[in-house]
Amino acid sequence: MKNSKKVVSLVPSGQKDPLAQLARNILKELGEDTEREGLVKTPERIAKALRFLTKGYDQDVEEVLNGALFAEEHEEMVILKDISIYSLCEHHLLPFFGKCHVAYLPNKKIVGLSKIARLVDVFARRLQVQERMTNEIAQIMQKVLEPRGVAVVIEAEHLCMQMRGVQKSGSVMITSAMLGAFRNRQETRAEFMKLIRD
Catalytic residues: 89-92, 130, 158, 160
CA distance 9 to 72: 42
Question: How is the beta sheet containing 149-158 ordered, strand by strand?
Answer: 127-128, 78-89, 95-105, 149-158, 173-180
CA distance 196 to 188: 13
> Could you give the maximum distance between any two Cα atoms of the chain, in Å?
63
Backbone angles phi, psi at 16, to 5 degrees: -75, 140
3-state secondary structure 39-64: HCCHHHHHHHHHHHHCHHHHCCHHHH
What is the gyration radius of the CA atoms in the chain, in angstroms?
A: 20
- Count other C-beta atoms under 10 Å from residue 145's C-beta: 22
**Do β-strands 127-128 and 78-89 pair in parallel, antiparallel, or remain unpaired?**
parallel
